[in-house]
C-alpha cells in the first residue's frame, strides 16, 4: 500500500487496489513521504469511510486535532469493543474524537461542562457509563486532565450510539431527553420530587424506556382485560391523569404517541412510587 497523504505521525491515507483507505498505527508515518510503502506490521486499524464527506471529515480530524487526543479516543474505542464484545459503528472514530478534543479544549479554558441528562444516562446506559468511568481514569493518566462526571455521561452516549449503529447521537439524545422531560411532567403533576439515587427513580426511568421502545416498535405490554384497565383508571384516577399528561407532552413536544395501555401501566408505576415516597416521609 502506497501513501497518498500523511495526516499525522500515526495516520495516513493510502491507495489499496484502487480503493482509498485511512490507516492508523503507532509511528506509521515516521520518516515517510508520499508514495512510500507503509510498514504493514505497524497497521492497527484500517478505515474505508462510507461517503466522501465522512472521509474528508475524518481526514480533517486526524490532521488538525492533537495526536494525544486522537490516541486516547482510539484507546477508549478499542477498550469498549473488547468490553462489550461488539464492533462499534465507524462513525464513532469521528464523533467521539471530535467531541472529546472539544471537551478537553473547553476544560483547559476553565469552562464548565454540564449534562442535564446525567442521572438518566447512568440508568439507561449502565455499561456504557462504566466504560466512561474507565475513560475518565485513562484521560487523567495519559493527559493529566480530570474530566467531570457530566463528560463521562456524554462519552457513554457516544458509545451507546455507536453500539446501536444509528449514525449520530440524535436518536439517543431524543430518547433520553424525552424520558427526562416526562419525569418532570410527572413530578409537576403530583407536586413531588423523586430522589435521583433511589430504586423508585431507576424503575420509573426503566419503565418509561421500555414503554417508549414498545410503542416505537408497534408492540404492547401484556394486555389487561378492558374491565381491569377501566378499574385501574378509576381507582388510580389521579395517577392515570398524570400518565396522560406525560403522554400528551410526548405527543406535543416529540410527536411521539403512546398507547392507552402503556399509559395505564405507567399510571400503576407512578402510584407505586408515590405510595413509597409518602410512606418514607
Residue 149's contacts (CB-CB under 8 Å, 6 or more residues apart) are 115, 118, 136
Q: In which domain, by residue range, is 244 found? A: 179-280
As given in the structure block, the three cell numbers for residue 257 are: 404517541
Do strands 19-24 and 11-16 pair parallel, antiparallel, or not at all (unpaired)? antiparallel
* Count of the separate structural domains present in the chain: 3
In a domain, 36, yes or no: yes
Residue ending a domain, choose from 137, 168, 199: 168
User: pLDDT (tens digit, 9 = 90+) per residue, 80-119?
Assistant: 999 999 989 888 888 999 999 999 999 999 999 999 999 9
Residue ending a domain, choose from 136, 168, 200: 168
Mean pLDDT of the chain: 89
User: pLDDT (tens digit, 9 = 90+) per residue, 121-134?
Assistant: 999 999 999 999 99
User: pLDDT (tens digit, 9 = 90+) per residue, 235-244?
Assistant: 999 999 999 9
- pTM for this structure? 0.83
In a domain, 30, yes or no: yes
In a domain, 161, yes or no: yes
pLDDT at 186: 96
37: domain CATH number is 2.30.24.10
In a domain, 62, yes or no: no
In a domain, 60, yes or no: no
Amino acid at each position: 500500500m502506497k501513501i497518498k497523504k500523511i495526516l499525522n505521525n500515526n495516520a495516513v491515507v493510502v491507495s489499496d487496489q484502487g480503493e482509498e483507505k485511512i490507516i492508523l498505527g503507532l509511528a506509521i508515518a515516521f520518516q515517510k513521504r508520499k508514495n512510500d510503502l507503509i510498514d504493514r506490521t505497524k497497521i492497527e486499524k484500517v478505515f474505508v469511510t462510507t461517503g466522501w464527506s465522512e472521509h474528508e471529515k475524518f481526514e480533517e480530524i486526524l490532521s488538525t486535532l492533537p495526536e494525544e487526543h486522537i490516541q486516547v479516543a482510539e484507546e477508549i474505542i478499542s477498550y469498549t469493543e473488547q468490553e462489550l464484545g461488539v464492533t462499534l459503528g465507524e462513525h464513532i472514530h469521528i464523533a467521539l474524537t471530535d467531541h472529546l478534543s472539544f471537551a478537553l479544549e473547553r476544560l483547559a479554558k476553565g469552562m464548565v461542562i454540564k449534562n442535564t441528562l446525567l442521572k438518566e444516562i447512568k440508568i439507561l446506559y449502565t455499561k456504557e457509563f462504566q466504560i466512561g468511568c474507565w475513560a475518565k481514569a485513562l484521560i487523567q493518566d495519559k493527559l493529566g486532565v480530570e474530566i467531570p462526571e457530566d463528560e463521562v455521561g456524554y462519552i457513554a452516549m457516544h458509545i451507546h450510539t455507536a453500539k446501536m449503529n444509528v449514525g449520530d447521537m440524535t436518536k439517543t439524545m431524543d430518547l433520553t431527553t424525552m424520558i427526562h422531560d416526562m419525569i418532570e411532567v410527572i413530578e409537576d403533576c403530583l407536586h413531588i420530587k423523586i430522589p435521583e439515587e433511589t430504586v423508585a427513580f431507576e424503575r420509573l426511568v426503566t419503565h418509561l424506556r421500555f414503554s417508549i421502545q414498545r410503542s416505537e416498535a408497534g408492540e404492547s405490554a401484556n394486555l389487561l382485560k378492558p374491565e381491569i384497565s377501566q378499574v385501574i383508571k378509576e381507582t388510580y384516577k389521579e395517577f392515570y391523569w398524570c400518565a396522560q399528561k406525560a403522554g400528551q407532552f410526548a405527543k406535543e413536544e416529540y410527536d411521539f404517541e403512546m398507547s392507552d395501555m402503556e399509559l395505564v401501566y405507567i399510571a400503576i408505576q407512578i402510584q407505586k412510587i408515590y405510595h413509597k415516597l409518602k410512606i418514607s416521609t
